[in-house]
Amino acid sequence: MPIRLTEQQQRALDEMHGGPPRLVDPRSNEAYVLLPLVEYEAVREIVEDERRQRAIRAVALRNAGDRAKKAP
């Protein structure tokens, strides 16, 4: 469910410069960064690709270790 910005919040966004705006949840004091959806999707794709690459390397290293144990 999307959260609609108030006029005051939209004006604050329009006035911000120097990177994505940071938001703070007053209940938890947790900080968030607000990104346009296109930028979020690009970052998410990069992160997921890096995770896949790490998983592939881990399997390759494990397989290489198994082969080394079996070598005469």
Is the distance from CB of 32 to CB of 22 less than 8 angstroms?
yes
Domain boundaries, the chain: 7-70
Per-residue pLDDT reduced to its tens digit, 11-42: 988 888 888 899 999 999 999 999 999 999 99
Per-residue pLDDT reduced to its tens digit, 48-59: 999 999 999 999
Is the distance from CB of 21 to CB of 13 less than 8 angstroms?
yes
Is the distance from CB of 21 to CB of 9 less than 8 angstroms?
no
> Sign (positive/negative) of CA torsion 36, 41, 46, 52?
positive
Q: Which residues are registered as beta bridge partners of 33?
A: 22
Q: Which residues are registered as beta bridge partners of 22?
A: 33
Q: Is the pTM of this model over 0.75?
A: no
